[in-house]
Amino acid sequence: MITHDKDPVIGLLSPCGWGNLGDAAIQDAVIAAIRSRWPNAKIVGFTSNPRDTQERHGVPAYPLSGYAPPTYGIGGRMLPRTAGPIDRALQRLQGVPLLRSVALPLRLMCDFLQSEPLHWALALRWVRQLDLLIVSGGGQLDDFWGRAWGHPYVLWKWSFLARRTHTPVVMLSVGLGTLRTRLARVFVRGALSRMTYRSYRDERTRTEVARLLGQGHDGPVAPDLAFGLEPVRCRPPRLNAGVVGISPMAYCDPRVWPIKDGAVYQRYVERLASLVVRLIDTGRRVVLFSTDTCDRLVMDDVWAAAGCPVLARRANTTTLPALFGELAQLDVVLASRLHGVILAHLAECPVVALSYDWKVAQHMAEMGQTEYCVEIDAFDVPALAVVLERLEDRSDAVRATLRQRLGDYRAPPDLAAVRISTGQQLQHGRVSRRGTSLGRPRSTNPAHRSAGIP
């Protein structure tokens, strides 16, 4: 239950909670910044997996949606619901090949109509008790996972509820992915237009948002929020050189990736497995690790395809401390996910990036590491091994470059700008708007004091 007394209540909106350590780093950094500026603030998460959010970040959390379209949330219902006779009938129809194309949309429509009205009512109660709602970092302007009815719809919905309840909503260092449909662009445009402050992860996002809104640039470019995280530093004395970390990703994996291509995925796994064997044959040790839950499946596939080698260890990196502990023992890293690369750089670990998206190549360029960025679809094993060897030889110089570049990027979220843009001031540990306390009186309506989920 969200309570509301003298302390400000700040909500964080993010589609996190499924084990992505980049998302976890972002939320940790934002929570630390909020507590630094507003020590008495109560922080509430609205995420895809509230249980993980509560356990990982130590804040109460609630589902950001009642409806989970395919690939949004990777298979989890946001609000538990008992399957009724209509659900069972539509599920049976999906087993009939000629009716499958009709049954699936009907089933999704039933899911939406049965789950969303309840969630709208709950979300309205939650937003009424907030003093500020923050869309907290990451590539949230995106319809790759779940298409238009995934996160574009979620952003539109929460911004609508915030406007209705006169709750300021801001966006901190958010990036743009893909907005492939007109409906997704309509949802995102509506959400952006209701925000009182926006900052962008990169210049490209800022330019595209200006084009989408049909107006000039209106907010700053701010470093990815993960740069505000203080990594756990535990680099031990180097007794043995030649330890290479490889962090595969579920690229085109038919089990989880929205664009499913079994042939592309299999080639990717086989090439990484060949690289593992090659590295071991040249006297190196290999550590396979992941920064996302679904990538652990790929890690296992690569290890098996390489013949389960003794000198290739599969690390358990399900938390940020565990990840930084492993990074401290590596000489170089091969990674693909943006935050897999960023978190390795935060640990001052040299990285070869197998880039699957422009944002990865952009980050490598900003860190002065373009020569160590290779397209994921274009790499061949011998050439990639040469790039890794070159990085090993220059690792000291690369670490020095990373320390210099990171100094310009490491900064907490600009909550002072948020305070100014929303007309808020910090007074005696409380947030106030336009000189009036935002600590609205506790509602006497029992329905407004309960935010429990059935």
Q: What is the residue type of 364?
A: M
Give the residue-averaged pLDDT of 342-349. 96
pTM (2 d.p.): 0.86
How many helices (H) and strands (E) the chain has is answered by 15, 15
Q: Where in the chain is the domain with CATH 3.40.50.2000?
A: 243-408
pLDDT tens readout for residues 133-181: 999 999 999 999 989 999 999 999 999 999 999 999 999 999 999 999 9
Q: How confident is the model at residue 444 (pLDDT cuts 50, 70, 90)?
A: very low
Strand segments, DSSP code E, in 227-320 are 243-247, 285-288, 312-314
pLDDT the model gives residue 415: 78
Q: Closest Cα partner for 138 from 14, 45, 53, 44?
A: 14
State yes or no: pLDDT of 354 exceeds 70. Answer: yes
pLDDT the model gives residue 388: 97
pLDDT tens readout for residues 286-335: 999 999 999 999 999 999 999 999 999 999 999 999 999 999 999 999 99
pLDDT tens readout for residues 39-83: 999 999 999 999 999 999 999 999 999 888 877 864 344 555 555
pLDDT tens readout for residues 374-423: 999 989 999 999 999 999 999 999 999 999 999 888 877 777 667 666 66
| DSSP code, position 226 | G
> Residue 138: CB partners within 8 Å, gap ≥ 6?
14, 15, 16, 22, 23, 26, 174, 175, 225
pLDDT the model gives residue 435: 35
State yes or no: pLDDT of 121 exceeds 70. Answer: yes
Q: Which CATH class is domain 243-408?
A: alpha beta
pLDDT the model gives residue 96: 60
Q: Which CATH class is domain 9-223+411-449?
A: alpha beta
Q: Mark residue 19 as left, alpha or beta (left: phi above 0; alpha: psi -120 to 50; beta: remaining).
A: left
pLDDT the model gives residue 3: 47
Diameter of the chain measured on Cα atoms: 71
Give the residue-averaged pLDDT of 30-41. 93
Answer for the pair 48, 85: CB distance below 8 angstroms, yes or no. no
**Phi, psi values for residue 352, rounded to 5°:** -100, 120
